[in-house]
Structure 1
Amino acid sequence: MSDRHFELPAHPNAEYYRKQAKHLHHAYAAGDAAAGARVADALGDRAGERFLLSDAQFVLAQEHGFRTWPEFRAHIESRSTIEERPVSRLMGVMPGIYASMADTLLTELSRDSPGALRRLRAYVPRHATARSAATAGLRDARLIIARELGFPTWQELLSFTEKSRHDLSEHRRRRQRLHREAEALLTGNTDQLAQLTAEQADTLLHMLAGPETIPGVRLCKELGAPRAAVAVLLRKATDLDLPLTWAARFNRVGYVRLLLDAGADPGTRTLGITPLENAVYHGNTEVVDLLAVHAIVPQALWTYAACGRLDLVRTCFDGDGMLRPDAAPARPDLADTGAGFPSRLPPTDDPEEIIGEAFVHACQHGRIEVVRWFLDHGVHPDVAPYLGRTGLHWAIPGGHLPVIRLLLERGADPSLRDDLLRTDADGWLRISYAARPHDPEAHHLHNLITSGPTH
């Protein structure tokens, strides 16, 4: 059996999965080890007695969270479309990380945690009406993690993870071949850069978007290279949009500014994500502000809130204070950030959920006027649309003291723990400031969180 590094077709139907079952049946009969592991996971010792095509269909149904093949087939036939999700966000993530996440989730399931039960119901069809999570097993926990990351099964998550690690190795090898050219870029050797091809220029501009163009040379908010050298590459390049998306992710403020001035499109979607979405998700407020001057893409309540545009936030509500139907043409999905972590339950059309998304992103970027406006209009300070992460959790990594103080004044509970890391506000503080635990700001925030807003 070959590996399962494949993209699902746009509209997989029952016949597609019948062929997959036949493929599994033949691979198992041929003694393929991977097929044997999949079968054993679903059937246990029973597979040693017999393994028919109907058994292979049952394995596929189980891997997708259904009790039987007929239930799985009925689900497939009832769907007119299937969501396509990019997998590049998994780049380089070790499979053991996902196994550890599944083990942690299994512990929460066994404790019958309310958050774990909600995730179980949302992602494992055979448990859609479960009243308790205590009976769920490791297979269920693994499926939840896979589905939260946009993959139909645990097997496909692991398969694409391995493929992404291979792709990352290839990417690193290509970068290593341009080591001398990267040095020329950082030292400003325009004569050498002038000899490069357009493809090499594209690669170097992409490399400059990251924190380390050359290992050991750390790039931060500043451009980090002579402008004249970068200008040589900009004249040769064929694609400025990909570097912009990556520079927005890595908070390369000076580079983002230069790329925008050179004509990079802030509205482009690269790997399924816009530069603004990347900057918002990663808490890069300066980049958010730069991009918002050019364009807010997508135009939705949550991006308006993250950009601090209270005027646009207000336009998303009618005269009676009700959310307009067109306020959320696009919804945030943190699984596309590149961090490789699940982010939320499937989004619904509930206005409170949509408003909650906007609220926490306003907290994340310190948009105090927007945060105050939402609170004044009835938003609960502990609203948590993403796996239990409250506005307080979101505000802490950026050190947004005024917002944190306001949330606490309005009754935010710092003892609440999120569903993924099971960490309270002070725990998020320790994580966020792990590299600088003696920072006076961290000490101040700790006192504020533990003593209350009057401290």
Structure 2
Amino acid sequence: MSFSIPFHPNYEQLRKQAKDLHKACGKGDSSALGLLVEHHPKYSGTSPDDAVDASLSDVQLALARAYQFSSWPQLQRSVQEIESVEARVDDLSKQFAGADTAGRQRLLEPVHDRKRFVDYSDGDTELSAPDARLVIANSEGYALWSKYESYVRLDPVVRDLIVAIREGEHDTVRSILAKTPEVANPRWVAGFEPNWAGDSPGTPNDSIPLFDVSEAVFNGTNRKGNEGEIAADLLAAGADPNLDGQPLEGAVSFNCPRVVESLIAGGVDSEA
């Protein structure tokens, strides 16, 4: 039994789901007990009856893993961050509607290219949700909402890894990869399908840790000269050197010869 996070998740609803499952376990409900046996390591391989006395924290862990998170705190963090971003969209639209002409222009200052607005035209006094999302994405350094949304909906540990890569924190990168080598490749909360440019399928490049190594050098957030070693560690952990052709393209475009060397040593297909 596995679940996917709703596209517009609600943490309080998930808390209620855990409490309801906990009560159901105490009553001997077979489906609830089966969830514990399937997803909680303590009850794996045991009789469902052994899970009748499971604690609420036991149920939360099993439920988090059914949603494909490693723990309840990771589920909580991811869902609340998604909720926070959606709240920012609503707040921005309300602020825009209540602002004067100068205030509306200040709210639009982060926008990279106004031609990307879906609905907004100069002089409008309302900002639609799609256009508010563009403003927020641009304010976070992402050209498109789809790219920022992809980042927000990454597994939280993948995001931790990307943050460490961007800052050139090699020890942190190693620590994360030692515990969870699978995050060397991007993975998203269950049920989310990334699409970096609307109708153009593909993995958003800045959701790929191996691409972010080179981008961090280009953006100047990592000036430590360790990009080759970080790339090598990602590859050793299982990072795909050929993922949509992005790692090599990034390393070449951003003039990162050390990353190119690591990619070649890691088996990148230079003819792709």
| TM-score relative to the length of structure 1 | 0.28
- If asked which structure has higher relative contact order (CA below 8 Å, sep 6+), I would say 2
Structure with max Cα Rg: 1
